[in-house]
Structure 1
Amino acid sequence: MADRKAFFYGTLMVREVLYRVCYGDERADKDPILGLLAASLTIQPAILHDYCRHRVLNVDYPGIAPQKGHTVRGTYVTGLTDADIWRLDHFEGSEYERRDVQVQLLKKDGEVGAKEKLVYADAETYVYTAGEEHLEEREWDFDEFRREKMHRWVGSRQEYEEVDEALARNGHDQTGGRGVQNCSYGRESEGDVLKSAV
């Protein structure tokens, strides 16, 4: 059932990265079958209060840690399945712990009106737990990531190895996800065939 909700604050704010993790294809919205699955997701801007987003040392992605008075802007995604969460857990790895949080929803343009009632929603997010000594003082910058580092994440297999290996070990997704199993959803890209199955 597609009733899981998550808050993403780093690389997963990029649709292509989210699609690659959940569907095995960064262009899932262009595929006739995967496009139907991708269309079931709703994505809107949101704010997580009392957390701070930091750069993780020597990598492209951030981590968040609880910190009173700070906020983190990100995306609130609904329509995720248990299978999607299983893949996301493997993607995030042992440095992160999935936790329940509450986020403030924003309008599609990312703003909230002064006279409007604040709307909050429950979500799951990945909190960095590998130790604060691995976090830089400065905040991770999404625009900098898109401008300077996203090329490493789109059109590449390297950042998705843990997800691909977990799927390969299981033969196919055992989590009762979206009902399409043992399918190769990737397109050949520079000789690589993605082995992900939904």
Structure 2
Amino acid sequence: MVKTSLFFYGTLMHPKILKRVIRNNGAHLQLCSALLLEYTRHRIKDEDYPGIVPYSGSRKLFNYDLKEEERTVRGILVTGLTAQDVAYLDFFEGNARCPFLCRGYC
């Protein structure tokens, strides 16, 4: 069985919310604090959730530089997600989720 790892930086960082969304107790998951380097987190206009942008794009969009330590998004890395877990997460996120590959370690 293929297991998936995902990085969360919004409401899904909270284990109770994550468990509610995936409709199980999450006993098969490993959660650890994680940092996504060279990305920035921003409020999305007219939405209740944040989005992330590569720092290079953020700098162009907002026309300002950040200190090196501010070019990081804090979140959690969740490993061990099943295909069913991911299907529930996709439904919850709707069109808001734009997956991309990154390296993460617990």
What code does the residue aligned with 1:51 have? Y
What residue is the counterpart of 1:138 in the other structure? none
What residue is the counterpart of 1:18 in the other structure? 18
- After superposition, the C-alpha distances for 1:151-183 in whole angstroms (9 at most, x for unaligned) are xxxxxxxxxxxxxxxxxxxxxxxxxxxxxxxxx
CA distance in structure 2 between the aligned counterparts of 1:61 and 1:41, rounded to whole angstroms: 24
Q: Could you tell me how far 1:100 is from its partner in structure 2? A: 1.4
CA distance in structure 1 between the aligned counterparts of 2:43 and 2:104, rounded to whole angstroms: 21
What residue is the counterpart of 2:30 in the other structure? 42
What residue is the counterpart of 1:57 in the other structure? 45
TM-score (norm 1): 0.43
Q: Is the aligned partner of 1:3 residue 2:14?
A: no
TM-score (norm 2): 0.76
What residue is the counterpart of 2:78 in the other structure? 77
Instruction: Report if aligned partners of 1:48, 1:104 keep a CA contact under 8 Å in 2.
Output: no
CA distance in structure 1 between the aligned counterparts of 2:96 and 2:28, rounded to whole angstroms: 29
CA distance in structure 2 between the aligned counterparts of 1:60 and 1:82, rounded to whole angstroms: 27
Identical counterparts, % of pairs: 43
Instruction: Report if aligned partners of 1:41, 1:77 keep a CA contact under 8 Å in 2.
Output: yes
Count how many residue pairs are aligned between Structure 1 and Structure 2: 93
SS of the residue 1:91 aligns to:
helix
Give the structure, 1 or 2, with the largest relative contact order (CA under 8 Å, sep 6 or more): 2
CA distance in structure 2 between the aligned counterparts of 1:95 and 1:6, rounded to whole angstroms: 15
Task: Flag structure 1 segments of 5+ consecutive residues without an equivalent.
Answer: 24-33, 106-198
SS of the residue 1:19 aligns to:
helix
Q: Could you tell me how far 1:11 is from its partner in structure 2? A: 0.6
The structure number with the bigger radius of gyration is 1
- After superposition, the C-alpha distances for 1:16-48 in whole angstroms (9 at most, x for unaligned) are 21111111xxxxxxxxxx44xx21111110101
Task: Flag structure 2 segments of 5+ consecutive residues without an equivalent.
Answer: 57-67
CA distance in structure 1 between the aligned counterparts of 2:38 and 2:93, rounded to whole angstroms: 21
Q: Could you tell me how far 1:2 is from its partner in structure 2? A: 5.7
RMSD between superposed Cα atoms in Å? 1.8
SS of the residue 1:18 aligns to:
helix
